Amino acid sequence: MVCLKIPRDQLEIVLISAQALQAEMLQSMQRHEIVGKVKEASSASGVEQNDEIAMKFKSVLENLDDTAIAEVVAISVVGDGSCNVYEFDELVDNIRNESRQNKIKLVTNEPLIGNMIHDGMKMLGLSN
C-alpha cells in the first residue's frame, strides 16, 4: 500500500463525486444514442445537469492542495492501466510539475473517471 498525503476522507469524497459525474456522463451518452442526433435546444437541460455535476466535482478537486490533486490524477492513471503501481511515486512527482488547471482538467474530462479512481485505489491497496 502506498502512503498518500491526501487524507482518506477527502479521497473518498473525490471518489463519490467522480462516480456521480461518471454516472451522469454515461446516462447523457445513452440518451443521445437512443435519440440519435439531438438538436442542441432539446438537449440543453441535460447539458446543464451535466455541467452542474461536473462543476461540483471540479470544486471538490479545487479544494485540495496541489499534491493531493497530483495523487488523485496518479491514482486514476494507475486505475486505467496506463501506469504500473510500482511507478506511482514517480508519476505523482511528474504530475506535480503540471499546472493546477492542467491537473484538474486531466481528470474532469474523463468519462470513466469514477471507475479509474476506484480501480486505482484497489490496485494501490487503498480500498477493497
Convert the pLDDT of each residue in 36-85 to its tens digit: 554 444 444 444 446 788 899 999 999 999 999 999 999 999 999 999 99
Q: 38-69 as b/e, with b when 16 or more CB fall inside 10 Å?
A: eeeeeeeeeeeebeebbeebbebbeebeeebb
pLDDT at 31 over 60: yes
The pTM of this model reads 0.84
